[in-house]
Structure formats: structure tokens, C-alpha cells
């Protein structure tokens, strides 16, 4: 079968060796990223197509990753609706928190399309560059027509976590409290995010994204009944809407720290692929998830920081545990800033060198 390897794997092919990309593959561990970082603050970098395109391409050039993920952030959606957002050095994101119905009513979903126009321009440029560059040299180690462009959004629950809490948190206690104490208000927020996220992902697809991923980084803090209501149900609605408009575009879900609930997530949301966090036991998950759902993951980012023989062994262990099954190699969470770029090279080289291994 021909076509881009990552796209084939996301559609259910057991491609061998598996295609690879890494969450946060464009980041502070790359010197060329740090050089650009000095030029503008984070939101400006996301909203400037020249910068966002260049940063997205940096890991492609170096490692010929099979996927290029748009450089942006899950909090661009609330920002686009008018919620104030700032990224402070070492503090992470800071937002004006949503506490009341009046706070919610101040959001302006009708602004999203215009506010995200630069992101759509970035996607159009990326797709053109990846598939048919004017100068093939711009892709470095990658070849034209081989890299899949990935768009993304946060899942409604995870984005709501930051919107209600006003930033990051260990426990997101005020969010979980709101979900119980003010189910109507919280439900309205989830509903608003469900609709705007589906529309924004469709826009991303219409501007060049070939696959989309929903990051649900905090899905794992909910008990099962709340997981059904605030994770599975909204994800199902987003998947249905994207499918209706773009039936062939694969959707990756990432119910981080979902534990055994990832089995029901895979079956009930309708996603094509599920990203697994570092804690997922691959042999167990293989049994929980129908093999029509591609699995993505799940090397520990700290193992990548460590490098050496433990890294080589762990890369082979993850790859070989998924042999014969549709799999996309990735980490269980994002690349950490202290990672050596040489370790990323070792990961990619080890993964792709299957000359000594028998075919599955
Ligand atoms: O994977 C990629 O490289 C694509 C771009 C991307 C970013 N954030 C860039 C970013 C993606 C897919 C995200 C997702 C995201 N953003 C998530 C879900 C995944 C996860 O990590 O759990 C979450 C929860 C956020 C919210 C967010 N953005 C936080 C908590 C922070 C601060 C902490 C940190 O890691 O720096 C950000 C900032 C952010 N998003 C940066 C980048 C490159 C760092 C900003 C900088 O370089 O100054």
C-alpha cells in the first residue's frame, strides 16, 4: 500500500517499523527553537505564520518525523473567545478564571474564526511546504509528500480545567467542585467548548490538517460517572461532527491517565486512534481496546532524557509490544526541555532499524 506512513497507521494499517512523531517535538530542547523564542512571546509565536511554520518544521528537518504537529496551544481556543491569557516564564498559563454565568456569557464564540485565521494560514503554508516545497532543501532530512500534518485541540474537559481554575493546578479542585455543585453552569461550558472545538478542528482540516488530535491531559482525574459525562460524551459529539464533515480524516484521542477507562473511551467515542500515557501497560491495553483502534505511545519522556542503553531497550520494547498491530510510536507525554537532541536521534534511529529483526 502506498501513501504517508503515519496516515496509513492511523487508518488501521500495521505499518512496520511503526511511524513516529513526538508530542512537543518542537520545543526548548532544540537550540534552533530557543533562538526563535527570544523574538516574541508565546502567543505571538503561535499567531505569526512565519514563526509557527518554521518552528513546526524544525524537528521534521532534523529527524524526518512521520508527523508534523502544528505549533500552537490548546488554550488558543479560550483566548480566541476573548478570555485573557498570558504565558509567564516558569508559571505556565494564567487566565482570568470563569466562575459565574456572567463570566461564561462574556465569551465570544463568534470571534474564534477570525482570531484563529493566522493559525489556518500556518496550516496552509505547512501543507504546501511538506507536500510540494518550492525548495526541497527546506525539509532537511524529510522527503516531500511523506510527512503527515497533524492539527489539534484540547478536549472540552481539559480546556475547561484551565478556564475555570485560571491556570495549571495539581488537583483542579475548583473545576471538579463546579462540575458537582453547578452542573448546569459546568455543562454549558463543556457544551460551548464541544461546539467550538468541533468547528475549529474542521477549519484546521479544511486548511490542510490531515489528522487531528484531542489532548485530554486531565481526563484521568475524574471518577467513572463524570468521565462518561465530561470526557466520553463530548468527545463522541466532536468525533461525530468531524466525521460528518470529513469522513476520511483520522482522529486521535488522548485520555491521559485514564487507566482502565481507556477501554471504554476507545469503544464509545468513535476515535480512530488512542494515545497512551506512560503508565499504560501495552499488553493489557492491547486486550482492552478493539484492534480497529490504532494505539499511539508511550515511551517515558524521562527515559528519553536518560538516553543510552536503557533508551535503546525501552524503544525496542514499546515497538515490539505492538508488533502486528496498528501502532504509532510516540512518548507518553511531551518531550522535556532538558532532553538532549542526540537522544531523540537515537530514539528515531533505533526505532527505524529493523534490519536485524524478523518481520512480524
Ligand atoms: O506538541 C507540540 O509541540 C505542538 C504544540 C503544543 C503546545 N502545547 C506548545 C506549547 C501542544 C499540542 C500543546 C498542548 C497543550 N498545551 C496541552 C496538552 C498536552 C499536555 O502537555 O498535557 C496542555 C495541557 C497545554 C497548556 C499549556 N501550554 C501549559 C500548561 C503550558 C506551560 C507549561 C509548559 O510546558 O511550558 C503551555 C505552554 C506551551 N505550549 C509551550 C509550548 C511550546 C511553552 C511556551 C514557551 O516555549 O514559552
CATH class of 5-352: alpha beta
pLDDT at residue 269 above 90? yes
Which of the four pLDDT bands, split at 50, 70 and 90, describes residue 358? low
Cα–Cα distances in angstroms (integers) from residue 108 to residues 36, 77, 204, in the given order: 31, 11, 19
User: What's residue 37's pLDDT?
Assistant: 87
**Does residue 299's CB lie within 6 angstroms of at least one atom of ligand 1?**
no
Please name the residue whose Cα sits nearest to atom 12 of ligand 1.
73
pLDDT at residue 315 above 80? yes
CB atoms within 10 A of CB 56: 24
User: What's residue 360's pLDDT?
Assistant: 58
Say which DSSP state 359 is in.
Answer: P
Nearest to 211 by CA among 298, 109, 123, 134: 123
pLDDT tens digits, residue range 208-258?
A: 999 999 999 999 999 999 999 999 999 999 999 999 999 999 999 999 999
DSSP letters for 293-355: SEEEEEE-HHHHHH-HHHHHHHHHHHHHHTTTS-EEEEESSPPPTT--HHHHHHHHHHHH--T
User: What's residue 38's pLDDT?
Assistant: 85
Please name the residue whose Cα sits nearest to atom 1 of ligand 1.
24
Q: In the chain, how long is the greatest CA-to-CA distance? A: 63
Distance CA 234, CA 288 (A): 22
Share of the chain above pLDDT 90, in %: 95
pLDDT tens digits, residue range 26-69?
A: 999 999 999 998 889 999 999 999 999 999 999 999 999 999 99
CB atoms within 10 A of CB 74: 19
Share of the chain above pLDDT 70, in %: 98
pLDDT tens digits, residue range 209-222?
A: 999 999 999 999 99
66, 73, 203, 300: which is the annotated catalytic residue?
Answer: 73
Residue at grid coordinates 537550540: 31
**Does residue 217's CB lie within 6 angstroms of at least one atom of ligand 1?**
yes
Nearest to 89 by CA among 266, 302, 337, 356: 337
The angle at the Cα of 49, spanning 335 to 235, to the nearest 5 degrees, equals 55
Please name the residue whose Cα sits nearest to atom 39 of ligand 1.
73
Which of the four pLDDT bands, split at 50, 70 and 90, describes residue 359? low
User: What's residue 39's pLDDT?
Assistant: 85
Question: Does the pTM exceed 0.80?
Answer: yes
pLDDT at residue 1 above 70? no
Amino acid at each position: 500500500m502506498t501513501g504517508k506512513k503515519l496516515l496509513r497507521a492511523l487508518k488501521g494499517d500495521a505499518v512496520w517499523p511503526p511511524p513516529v512523531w513526538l508530542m512537543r517535538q518542537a520545543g526548548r530542547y532544540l537550540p534552533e527553537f530557543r533562538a526563535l523564542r527570544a523574538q516574541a512571546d508565546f502567543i505571538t509565536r503561535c499567531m505569526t505564520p512565519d514563526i509557527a511554520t518554521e518552528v513546526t518544521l524544525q524537528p521534521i528537518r532534523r529527524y524526518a518525523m512521520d508527523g508534523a504537529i502544528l505549533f500552537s496551544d490548546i488554550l488558543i481556543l479560550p483566548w480566541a473567545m476573548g478570555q485573557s491569557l498570558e504565558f509567564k516564564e516558569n508559571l505556565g498559563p494564567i487566565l482570568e478564571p470563569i466562575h459565574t454565568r456572567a463570566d461564561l456569557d462574556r465569551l465570544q464564540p463568534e470571534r474564534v474564526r477570525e482570531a484563529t485565521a493566522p493559525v489556518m494560514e500556518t496550516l496552509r503554508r505547512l501543507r504546501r511546504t511538506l507536500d510540494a516545497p518550492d525548495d526541497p532543501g527546506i525539509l532537511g532530512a524529510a522527503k516531500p509528500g511523506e510527512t503527515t500534518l497533524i492539527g489539534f485541540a484540547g478536549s472540552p474537559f481539559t480546556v475547561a480545567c484551565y478556564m475555570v481554575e485560571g491556570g495549571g493546578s495539581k488537583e483542579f479542585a475548583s473545576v471538579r467542585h463546579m462540575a458537582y455543585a453547578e452542573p448546569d453552569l459546568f455543562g454549558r461550558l463543556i457544551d460551548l467548548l464541544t461546539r467550538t472545538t468541533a468547528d475549529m478542528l474542521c477549519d484546521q482540516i479544511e486548511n490542510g490538517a490531515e489528522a487531528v488530535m484531542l489532548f485530554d491531559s486531565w481526563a484521568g482525574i475524574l471518577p467513572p460517572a463524570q468521565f462518561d459525562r465530561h470526557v466520553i460524551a463530548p468527545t463522541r459529539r466532536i468525533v461525530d461532527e468531524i466525521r460528518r464533515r470529513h469522513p476520511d480524516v483520522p482522529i486521535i484521542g488522548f485520555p491521559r491517565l485514564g487507566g482502565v477507562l481507556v477501554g471504554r473511551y476507545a469503544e464509545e467515542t468513535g476515535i480512530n486512534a488512542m494515545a497512551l500515557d506512560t503508565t499504560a501497560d501495552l499488553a493489557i491495553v492491547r486486550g482492552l481496546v478493539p484492534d480497529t483502534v490504532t494505539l499511539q505511545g508511550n515511551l517515558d519522556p524521562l527515559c528519553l532524557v536518560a538516553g543510552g542503553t536503557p533508551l535503546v531497550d525501552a524503544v525496542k520494547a514499546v515497538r515490539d509490544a505492538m508488533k502486528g498491530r496498528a501502532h504509532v510510536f510516540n512518548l507518553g507525554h511531551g518531550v522535556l526541555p532538558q532532553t538532549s537532541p542526540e537522544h531523540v536521534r537515537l530514539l528515531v534511529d533505533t526505532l527505524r532499524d529493523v534490519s536485524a529483526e524478523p518481520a512480524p
